[in-house]
Every structure is written in C-alpha cells, then in structure tokens.
Amino acid sequence: MRYEGIVYRPPSEANSLIIQATIGCAHNKCSFCSMYKDKIFRIRSLKEIFTDLEEARLYYNNITRVFLADGDALSMKTGDILSIINKINELFPECRRIGLYGAPKDILRKTTYELMQLHNAGLGIIYMGVESGNDDILTQINKGVNAAQVAEAGRKAKESGIKLSVTLISGLGGKKNWMNHVVDSAKIINDIDPDYLGLLTLMLEQGTELWKKVKSGEFQVLSPEEVTLETKVLLQNLQLSQCVFRSNHASNYLTLAGELPRDKETLLLEIDNALCGNDRYRAEGYRRL
Ligand code: SF4
C-alpha cells in the first residue's frame, strides 16, 4: 500500500484498514486546520486504489473495517465510490463497515438516491465536521457553508440510512463568541440528531490563519475552565434521540463518554466535579483545570 504524507483518520477507525481514495482536502481553506496544507488535492485512480486493496488482502487475513481517506473521499463520483465499495466487498467478505469523511458540500452534491445506493452497497458511516452551528463563526473560519447547509447535509445523510458521526470544536468562538457558538451548535446538532457526536477542543496550529489572529490579539482563546463550562452548556442544550457522545480526543481537557440522552445527568455531574476541582478527577489523571 502506498501512503502519501500524513494520513488522518477518526479515533474510532484506529483498527481499520486505511486506503487513500483521495489525497488532501478539496476545500483546504478552514482557518484553524493545517492537516492537508502540504498536499495538492487530487482523486486517485481506481487502478491505484484497487492495487492497494489487493496488496492489503495479501498482508491481512481479517479486515473488518475499511476507512477511505483523505479529507473528503465523498467528493469522488458516486459510481467510483460504488466500484471501490464493491471491490472491498469482493476482496474482504469479512468487512463489516466502510467509512469515509464527507464535507457538507459533498453530501449536498449527491442525491438522496445516490447516498442510498452507497448505503446499500456497504457504506456504513460518514464523518462530517460541523465545527460550529453559528453562521458568523462558520464564515470566520472559512468553512465554505452556512449552518442551514450543514444541517441539510446532516439530515440528508441520515435519511439515506448511513450512520452519521459529526464533530464540533470547543472554543471555536473564542472569548467573544463562545455563547453564540455553543447555543447555535446545540441547535444544529439537535436539528441533525446524529448517531455520533465527537467534541474536540480547538488546538492552535502554527501558521494557520487562526493562529495569526491569536497572535495579533484579534482572537482570544478560551481557558480550560471556559472550555469545560462551554461543554456543560452544550450538554444542557442538547436534545437528541439516541447519540453516542465522546469528548475523548487528545485535545480535550476532560474526558467524557456516554450515550445521550441516557447519560446526560452523569456527564453533567462529571463536568461539575471537574469544575469544582474534585480530587478524584485529578487522581485519575485528567489535566487539572
Ligand atoms: S474541510 Fe476539514 S480537512 Fe478540509 S480544511 Fe476544513 S477542517 Fe481541514
């Protein structure tokens, strides 16, 4: 298998076979993101992708999950994604889930019928970055879509039957806009009602546009206490039917995991304990607030 540059994947795809269907991110303009800045976006040929898959079959005898990288493999033509899925099914009959990143625009470009075709063929999960539900913040970070479009994309993915995993970024509104960020983010997540919600914390990457704004004083980063308080407000405002919630990325100050709405009160209690500096949390090794 040939890999180009650093390959990113969601935490839940840690044990998956990773195949680069695309190189880089077609958008590549978000002000906080440096993941694919060193790559010029391109879609790999089916021949190259099939060769990688065939080679993987020679090395591994049990592949239960496949993740199609890089940034937004869903930007490929539906027919080509179907060919890849069919090839995976042929080579790895034991495979139980195929996943990929899908930007909101990629989902919107596909018809519901196309998404259903992908689902029926074996596409099990789409990971979509929501980042924030606030229009001003989405504009400031150059997300390229507004909140209504992100919500529409999320609903559309869910309608197709494909599991949807979305991410929000704590602290993306900075000190000035944190309340707008969290309230509007809760609204958009409630609207989408995803199967999985991952909460990351803003990490400043040197050289990004956002990093420059922090340097100039235009953007003020939230303190760990403020990020934790923001998480509390988010959870208080979420009303979901059934969602696996995770805040266990390396960027997070406080590790949280549960199912919503079932574990909401427990999670809120954990946050309150952390905000109060409860010794048990320090003893368990979470970063002291
Ligand atoms: S769409 Fe995702 S990968 Fe692409 S620039 Fe934005 S955050 Fe980075």
Q: How far apart are CA 165 and CA 244, in angstroms?
A: 9
The pLDDT value given to residue 193:
98
In a domain, 289, yes or no: no
Q: How far apart are CA 288 and CA 178, in angstroms?
A: 21
Instruction: For the chain, report the end-to-end CA distance as a whole number of angstroms.
Output: 43
The pLDDT value given to residue 278:
60
Distance (angstroms) between ligand 1 centre and the Cα of 7 equals 13
In a domain, 92, yes or no: yes
- Which residues, other chains included, contact 231 with Cβ-Cβ below 8 Å and sequence gap of 6+? 170, 199, 247, 254, 256, 271
Mutate to test the pocket of ligand 1, among 22, 27, 138 (most ligand atoms within 8 A of CB): 27
In a domain, 275, yes or no: yes
Closest alpha carbon to 197 in 140, 133, 139: 133
Q: Quick one: tokens of 207?
A: 């050289």
The pLDDT value given to residue 282:
46
β-partners of residue 201 are: 170
Pocket of ligand 1 (CB under 6 A): 25, 27-30, 33, 35-36, 71, 103, 129
- Is residue 131 within 8 A of residue 143, CB to CB? The reply is yes
Q: How far apart are CA 37 and CA 208, in angstroms?
A: 9
Place of tokens 């609207």: 191
Q: How far apart are CA 17 and CA 56, in angstroms?
A: 8
In a domain, 288, yes or no: no
Q: Quick one: tokens of 89?
A: 């099914």
For residue 125, the enclosing domain spans 11-283
In a domain, 2, yes or no: no
In a domain, 115, yes or no: yes
Q: Identify the residue whose C-alpha is closest to ligand 1 atom 6.
A: 30
- Which residues, other chains included, contact 8 with Cβ-Cβ below 8 Å and sequence gap of 6+? 35, 69, 70, 71
Distance (angstroms) between ligand 1 centre and the Cα of 104 equals 11
DSSP 268: H
Domain at 58, CATH number? 3.20.20.70
Distance (angstroms) between ligand 1 centre and the Cα of 33 equals 6
Place of tokens 């229009």: 135
The pLDDT value given to residue 277:
80
Give the 3-state secondary structure of residue 14: coil
- pLDDT tens per residue across all 289 residues of the chain: 889 999 999 999 999 999 999 999 999 999 999 999 999 999 999 999 999 999 999 999 999 999 999 998 999 999 999 999 999 999 999 999 999 999 999 999 999 999 999 999 999 999 999 999 999 999 999 999 999 999 999 999 999 999 999 999 999 999 999 999 999 999 999 999 999 999 999 999 999 999 999 999 999 999 999 999 999 999 999 999 999 999 988 889 999 999 999 999 999 999 999 998 864 544 444 444 4
In a domain, 3, yes or no: no
- Is residue 162 within 8 A of residue 110, CB to CB? The reply is no
- Is residue 22 within 8 A of residue 72, CB to CB? The reply is yes
- Helices 46-59 and 78-91, packing angle to 10 deg: 20
Distance (angstroms) between ligand 1 centre and the Cα of 9 equals 12
Q: Total domain count for the chain?
A: 1
In Å, what is the CA distance from 237 to each residue of 112, 179, 193?
A: 29, 12, 13
